Structure 1
Amino acid sequence: MRVRGKPGAQVVEVGSRLDAGTSAGVRPRLHHAVDSGQGDLIVDLSELEMIDATGLGVLVGTHRRAVGAQRRLVLRGVPPRIMRVLAVTRLNRVLCVEVPVAAVA
């Protein structure tokens, strides 16, 4: 996982898995990013291949923490398979998912 800063936002890149095996390492890093920055916290999921209920919980918990810090959590580069999981769980209605510009046109 990598954190990059840019004006008005931070970008956090998540690896290929966000599940029970990786969440213990990812959760504190996301929470630290929320606590230490300003503006949008962009979580880049473009490399994500697998997510489970624990991983979804990490995203929801980070979203809640961001709201408490008056920030916004934005999911970027969500693969279609992961987007289907978000839709089935209706988390796509709670979490902000960035839509690629090409999809808008």
Structure 2
Amino acid sequence: MAPNFPQTSRYALIDTATLETADGKTVVYLRRRFVPPPERFALLTGHEVTQGDRLDNVTAYYLGDPEQFWQVCDANRAMWPDDLMVIGESLRITLPEGVQGAGDA
């Protein structure tokens, strides 16, 4: 059973599991989320990180939602958002997995 996360959450499609502890309590937890390979994401554009950039502002600009920073993390194989904010590095800004780009996107 999937918990009630918003559709835009990285956890929206992740199911729960239960664990019975030694003292008889039931613990409900989210199953592990596996990040698909970045090659599965249709590229929208690139973004070169400049002084003062913040990932929430970058995703607000390109994706229309600052809380979608996790999509940029996934597309760039980053575990931690701050790892992406290296001045001069190029970020892949992509569509979510399974959403096709137009033509040569």
TM-score range, shorter chain: under 0.3
After TM superposition, the score normalised by the length of structure 1 is 0.21
